[in-house]
Each structure stands twice: as C-alpha cells, then as structure tokens.
Amino acid sequence: MECDIAVYSCDGELLQWMDEKRVRRLMECGRVARVVKNRVGRIKRATLHLMAGEPKPSTLRDYVGTNYSFREYLKDGHRCYRLRSLGDNPRADRDLAPEEVRPIFLRVLLDCIVPSA
C-alpha cells in the first residue's frame, strides 16, 4: 500500500505520510480531528487532535510579545496610536505608568536620549 496520505499535527505541521490503513486505525482511536477527502472519497489529509500532555501549538503572539500601543479611533473619524497603560487597565486615560514603575520608565527614557554635540 502506498503512503499517500499527509498527516498533520494540530498546529498544521506535517508529521509524516501514511497509508490508508494506518490513518483509519488513528480515526478509530479518536486521534484524528479532521479528514480531507477528494471527490472520489479517498482520504488525502488528516489532522490530529491535541492530546493531553502535549504542549499547546505556538502562535504568532508567542513571538511578538505584548503590544504597548494600540489604535485609537477619534470622534472626527481619524485614527491614531495610543500608548498602553502599564497599570491594571490597559486602556486607562490617566496614570499611564503607576508610581512604582515611573523611576524605571524615566531611567530608560533618559538612557535613550542622546546629548546634542
């Protein structure tokens, strides 16, 4: 039997190519989340479930990090970028930096300023 069925992990990564017998065995065990068939009805792709104990799939957010600015829509229809508050409420209008982090913020800001020559 030919190994012509692509088997993907839950996050879309190609794991291996299998024959139909092995894929059907995975389906019986409940490991397959989604099956793609062609018009004739033959299985072409299988995507596996996330099993207990496996790490969650990585997303772009894992690599990008926290947004410290966001788009704000003004009343006149314009858009601008607004800094995110460092406190409990990220969209707060006041106290963008709580008292305990202001010295750190100012130190970083002063280290970034280059004196004019």
Mean pLDDT of the chain: 83
pLDDT value at 11 more than 80: yes
Secondary structure element (H or E) that encloses residue 79, with its range: strand 79-83
Task: Give me the percent of the chain exceeding a pLDDT of 70.
Answer: 85
What DSSP state is assigned to residue 88?
S
Report the alpha-carbon distance of residue 77 to residue 7 in Å, rounded: 48
103 residue type, one letter? P
Q: Looking at the whole model, is its pTM more than 0.85?
A: no
